[in-house]
Each structure stands twice: as C-alpha cells, then as structure tokens.
Structure 1
Amino acid sequence: MTKLSLKEKYLEELEQGKQLFDNKDYFPAFYHFERAHILGQPHYFRHVRSHYWMLRVGIKKAQFREIVGQIIRIFGSVGSLFGQYPVGNTGGANVSPFKPMPIPEDLKPYLEQ
C-alpha cells in the first residue's frame, strides 16, 4: 500500500468533509475539516481553506460563535507563513486558537514527512 503525501492526505480529508457537507451531514463533515486543518496548518492556503469550510458549516448550522471564530481564524492563519501555529490544534471555535493539541496517531506520519 502506497502512503499518501501530506498534501494528498490533506486533500483526502477535505474531500471527505466536502462530500458529507454536500449531503448535509455537517457534524461528520466538520470532523474531517478539523483533520484537514491539522494537516494544513504548515501551509498557508491549505490552512485558510480548512477554516473556510469550517466557516461554511457554521453558516449552515447558524452557529454565531463558529462563524465569528472562523472569520478570526482565517485572518490569523497568516501565522502559517511564518511557521507560527499551534501544532495539532483542530481549528474549531470550541478551542483556543493558540492551544497546541495532541496530533491524532494516524496523522502523525504525514506531518513527519
């Protein structure tokens, strides 16, 4: 079995989230966007893209806190350009945007590439 690259795994998580989003399965979609966020943090555009999709979930679910939190995080994603981001942070408004978090075991190999 060929191991995916970091970018490929990021895109896989993002696509799974988008498919669930299209089916109005917002809770599991958000989970995959969080996983994409963890993988995308080191890369500015991937980082912003994961927050964009989380924002879309917040809008669909009419969650004011999530909407505001994601807008703030989209602007804060600029830290990725300078290598400044909390490793493992899932990116949702339910956690501090500055809090490092444990990386899920299955995602660690992609971030060690």
Structure 2
Amino acid sequence: MNRSPERRAAYVVEAAAAREALAAGDLDVAFARLERAHILGQPWVGAHSWTHWMMLRVGWRRRDPREVAGQILRLAGGGLFTWLGWAPAGNTGGADVSAFRPMPYPGDLEPLCREP
C-alpha cells in the first residue's frame, strides 16, 4: 500500500476537516470527510483506527445503532488488518459497506493511493 508523504498529508487535511465539521455539528460533512480520511489512512494503523473511532462518534451522535455496532467491530479488527496488510483498497469504512470489500478510489484520491 502506498505510504507516500503526499498521501499522509492529504489524510491530515481530511482528518482536520472532519474534526472541524464534527465540532460544528455538521455530521454529514464530518462523515463524508471521514470516509475520505479512511481511504487515505488505511496504510497506517493509528490513522486507520482513529478514523473508525471518529466514525463511531458520528454514529453515536446520529443515534445510529448500525453504524455504532459496525464501528465497534471495525475498531476491534481494523488495526490488526492494517498491520497485516489486509485493508481493502478504496474501502470507505462506514457500516453501510462490507469491511472486506475493495472499492474504486475517488478520482481525486487515486493518484495519491495507487502504488508508485
């Protein structure tokens, strides 16, 4: 998985935007930015796990039991799967998609995510 400094920098931008949106109470924007952060942060255990933690927080604030349960499961296994190199490329990380399903990268993120 591509671990370029550019990918990491893009992750930091998305994570900051998600934090700002969550602080402002805009849960839809926060979750959308977390999905992008998830795609970008998959190569790093800490970044990947942090994204699932934040998705759990959004699910909790939405009172969405499916999202909360899905994120608890992903928190339990996501770090291990990342460490083992089993994170499915392009997966957005929400409970609405299988945790094992590879997905196409969004067009603007693909150049950052594909292998050099």
TM-score by length of 2: 0.91
Structure 1 unmatched runs, 5+: none
Instruction: State the match for 2:91 in structure 1.
Output: 89
Equivalent residues, number: 110
Distance 2:28 2:89 in 1: 23
Distance 1:82 1:105 in 2: 26
Alignment of 1:72-111 (within 5 A): 72-77=73-78, 78-111=80-113
Alignment of 1:1-113 (within 5 A): 5-77=6-78, 78-112=80-114, 113=116
CA deviations 1:72-104 (Å, max 9, x no partner) are: 001121111011111100000000111110001
Distance 1:75 1:41 in 2: 15
Structure 2 unmatched runs, 5+: none
CA deviations 1:13-40 (Å, max 9, x no partner) are: 0110110100110011100000000011
Structure 1 stretches of 4+ moved >6 Å: none
Amino acid at match of 1:43: W
TM-score by length of 1: 0.93
